[in-house]
Amino acid sequence: MEESIRIAVADDHRPVLMGVGSWLEDTNGMELVGTAFSPEEMLALCEEKQPDVAIVDLVYQKVERPDLTGAIKRVSPQTLVLVYSGFTLPNQVIAAFECGADGYLSKEPTSADLPEAVLNVVKHRYFIDPCIAKILEIPEARMREFSSEMLTELVEDWRLKMEMEAA
């Protein structure tokens, strides 16, 4: 029998946290190992449980926390981090990827399916929601051949673009 994908979830809105947890528990091949209400709780959970995937929000109590992705990877190096957030400005998305996120899924109703995003992160080591790809101006044709290496290039290109706009 194939092993389940072990998942930890963090969000500062309890209904979202409970809903995502229930959704994943009801998905074959996925095991919810714990939930966290704050970044600090998530770090402790990841250090203890060493999940395969950590699903995190970008903002907690009105404070952006793209650094949470890197902190998770320091306490649980093999854990892949999928940001699941309603915050989708290009600079927010790029900051999350710069800090080590392996995927980004929007909470918008038109977004991809959460279990599908988890499977993509595990299989390909990256995931970009199609609505995020539009925000980042990634052509649909390019998305069909996208890779983790292309994600690294995208982050570098956006960082340079933002630096030039700021200058």
Structure tokens at 98: 């710069």
pLDDT for residue 1: 43
Predicted confidence at residue 148, as pLDDT, reads 73
pLDDT > 70 fraction of the chain, expressed in percent and rounded = 96
Q: Which residue has the higher pLDDT, 90 or 75?
A: 75
Q: Using one digit for the tens of pLDDT, what is the confidence trace for 11-51? A: 999 998 888 888 888 888 999 999 999 999 999 999 999 99
Residue 125: how many other CB atoms lie within 10 Å = 14
The pLDDT of residue 147 is above 50: yes
